[in-house]
Amino acid sequence: MSLRLSSPTDYEALLNDYDTWLFDCDGVLWRGDQVIDGVVQVLNILRRRGKKVVFVTNNATKSRKSYKKKFDQVGLEAHVDEIYGSAYAAAVYISSVIKLPKDKKVYVIGQEGLEEELHDEGISFLGGTDPADNTLDSFNLKDFTVDPDVAAVVCGLDTQINYTKLSKAFQFLTRNPECLFIATNEDSTFPSAHGLLPGAGSISAPLRFALGRDPVCTGKPANTMLDCVKAKINFDPKRTIMVGDRLNTDILFGQNGGLATLLVLTGITSEADITGPNASPIIPNFVTSSIGDFRVIESA
């Protein structure tokens, strides 16, 4: 059973109990280009009280640097080293967990942000934004040679997805059985400013289906993402809370990592998903309608 936050005392208690606050972004801090009401004030409250603030996003189209620009644009304070994205987690996974040898390469289905993170981790890659792969021209295997140095395919959200990219990735993964299949995240959808669109999980779905094999996933709810945060920031899991709008990514991620969890209803999850006979089995510790609700502390 989740505790519904309502009185100023409830919000005060959370501020006293948790020193590190992990936030999902889309659907929690903003929707599309619109900051959710009260977020600026609430982040200020947290910073004034000396809380560590960390932004953990499955967004795989932006590097941390360009995600920082998104914060600037919408008028929210954030620092690059507070931002952890699934593209960064994928790059760190490749460079530091599997320790890809320097002479090996990665085939990318994804956008600039993923390429930027791979580059910053010193990983060679092909595909991605290469104009040769961003085409609707027909793909013929006759004209294609598998580069034997490609040791992994990494797949993030890619709105330039096309049959050439899928076919090339499929060749790397089938002709070399050692080739790793990595997905930045498995979000089925993502909330654009004007509604839901297919997410990164939908972009890797054709390969999953064609291969009959699931990728290693580096985004929430996988622990790879939390390992990334742990590598850079000291925090006590018992005094850390994950705030998110999705039960099967954000809340599960917090639970997998032994953190407290707070669900907000400004994004994907609605009241109907957490109450009644069809409620999800993933139960957050706390629920509030919006992160903006914490403003009640100051008006109290």
Catalytic residue set: 24, 26
Q: How far is the CB of 210 from its own copies (least distance, A)?
A: 4
Rg (CA), the chain: 20
Tell me whether residue 65 or residue 170 sits nearer to its own copies (CB atom): 170
Q: How far is the CB of 186 from its own copies (least distance, A)?
A: 8
**Options 101-109, 207-215, 239-247, 288-296: segment touching its own copies (CB under 8 A):** 207-215
Which residues, 6 or more positions from 195, have their beta carbon under 8 angstroms from its beta carbon? none
What is the x/- site pattern for its own copies, positions 260-299, by CB under 8 A?
----------------------------------------
Q: Segment 212-251, which members bind its own copies (CB under 8 A)? A: 212
> CA 121 to CA 52: how far, in whole Å?
25
Q: Segment 145-204, which members bind its own copies (CB under 8 A)? A: 158-163, 166-167, 170-171, 174, 188-189, 192-199, 201-203
Q: Mark the binding-site residues for Mg(2+), compressed into ranges.
A: 24, 26, 245
Distance in angstroms between the alpha carbons of the first and the last residue of the chain: 27
Which residues, 6 or more positions from 111, have their beta carbon under 8 angstroms from its beta carbon? 60, 61, 128, 129, 156, 157, 158, 159, 160
Which residues, 6 or more positions from 29, have their beta carbon under 8 angstroms from its beta carbon? 23, 35, 36, 39, 55, 74, 76, 291
Q: How far is the CB of 138 from its own copies (least distance, A)?
A: 6
Q: How far is the CB of 215 from its own copies (least distance, A)?
A: 12
Q: Long-range CB contacts (< 8 A, 24+ apart) of 201-204?
A: 203/109, 203/155, 203/156, 203/157, 203/158, 203/161, 204/109, 204/155
Question: How many beta carbons lie within 10 A of that of residue 39, not counting itself?
Answer: 22
Among positions 15, 40, 210, 216, the unique one binding its own copies when judged by CB under 8 A? 210
Tell me whether residue 159 or residue 299 sits nearer to its own copies (CB atom): 159
Tell me whether residue 196 or residue 300 sits nearer to its own copies (CB atom): 196
Number of residues that bind its own copies (CB under 8 A): 40
Structure tokens at 213: 């094999």
Q: How far is the CB of 188 from its own copies (least distance, A)?
A: 5
Q: Which residue type occupies 169?
A: A
**Options 63-71, 91-99, 131-139, 282-290: segment touching its own copies (CB under 8 A):** 131-139
Q: Compute the Cα dihedral for 203, 221, 209, 177 and give only its sign.
A: positive
Tell me whether residue 207 or residue 226 sits nearer to its own copies (CB atom): 207
- Specify which residues 35 forms β-bridges with: 30
Q: How far is the CB of 279 from its own copies (least distance, A)?
A: 16
Asked if 18 and 240 count as a contact pair (C-beta separation under 8 A), the reply is yes
The answer to whether 132 contacts its own copies (rule: CB under 8 A) is no
Kind plus residue range of the DSSP H or E element containing 157 = none
Which SS3 state, helix, strand or coil, does residue 201 take?
A: helix
Tell me whether residue 146 or residue 283 sits nearer to its own copies (CB atom): 146
Q: 238: closest CA among 213, 216, 223, 257?
A: 257
Tell me whether residue 44 or residue 160 sits nearer to its own copies (CB atom): 160
The answer to whether 110 contacts its own copies (rule: CB under 8 A) is no
Q: Mark the binding-site residues for substrate, compressed into ranges.
A: 220
Q: Interface residues with its own copies (CB under 8 A)?
A: 134-136, 138-142, 158-163, 166-167, 170-171, 174, 188-189, 192-199, 201-203, 205-212
